[in-house]
Amino acid sequence: MAKPVLLVTRRLPPAVEARAAAEFDARLALSDQPMADVQAQAQGADAILTCPGDNFDAALIASLPASVKVIATFSVGFDHIDIAAATKRGIAVCNTPDVLSVATAETALLLILAAARRAGEGERLIRAGRWRGWAPTQLLGVGAIGRQLGIFGMGRIGRELARLARGIGMIIHYRDVARLPPALEGDATFHDSDASFLGACDILSLNAPGGEGTYHWLNAKRIALLPRGAVVVNAARGTLVDDEALIAALRSGQVGFAGLDVFEGEPRLNPGYLTLENVVLLPHLGSATVAARDAMGFLALDGIAAVLAGRRPENLVG
């Protein structure tokens, strides 16, 4: 019996590609960059494994061959896939929840500490050969221990960040569409308004999903509600932030420091960030551990196999 045909749009970790080749007639990508001719490459394919940054809009989905039954994304977020268009075509969509939560929460905590303690500035100082030795007033930042951390989006990753942050004595506040059950909330304080939530944030971490409902959620109006000098980090989606508003706030001191792992329109980013010393910039490293990326690929393949076998996978999103 012939194996199902699987189109993979990007290079994936070796263990994931090996499993894909063993279980499917896999058309593996040769590049880390987005595939330019998905429609042509998908001819005869039963499934597609894609990645964030690969835009599966309504037009592309409408152009896919009738053979395609499922699209899996190598990510938790699926705002780069038009779910309604896929549903209309009868194409299932799967993602990779849970398995990257710890790794991404680690990145958020890394951004908090690096931004608050001005680690990026210090590293650049040394690399530029401009460090002249220890000085009492050099690169004074703010501590994280005992500070109030506000988490916007208390899903799996937000809750993992809260767990890690409690370990260094941070006080947790959160904002979400609904209050968590007591077992998940723990000692965190729920806020049902932006004003009370943002006013409590010494440090704000954005951990909500992308999409229309959260587009440019952190705008000038909300930034003004933060305590002056607050720290802002984003390891979720670049679209959560109005870049011009955040850049203005970093220049004025309304936001003291920022740490960003994601950007609207990435890999392009607003050039204003490159002129600022008080922002740490990472190239979308959130889930970048070997264990997390392997687990993501395996879960995506599990979802594809389940759909093609006529079963409903646990990671089905549309």
DSSP per-residue codes, 5-64? EEEE-S---HHHHHHHHHHSEEE--S-SSPPTTHHHHTTT-SEEEE-TT--B-HHHHHHS
> What is the reported pTM?
0.93
**Scanning the structure block, which residue is given the tokens 């951390």?**
149
Paired residues of 206 in beta bridges: 152, 234
**CATH number of the structural domain 5-99+290-308:** 3.40.50.720
DSSP summary character for residue 310? T
Q: Are 158 and 134 in contact (CB under 8 A)?
A: no
Catalytic residues: 237, 266, 284
Fold of 101-281: Rossmann fold (3.40.50)
Q: Do domains 5-99+290-308 and 101-281 have the same CATH topology?
A: yes
Listed by start position, the domains of the chain span: 5-99+290-308, 101-281
DSSP summary character for residue 124? H
For 22-77, the pLDDT digits (tens) are: 999 999 999 888 888 999 999 999 999 999 889 999 999 999 999 999 999 999 99
Backbone angles phi, psi at 7, to 5 degrees: -95, 125
For 80-113, the pLDDT digits (tens) are: 999 999 999 999 999 999 999 999 999 999 999 9
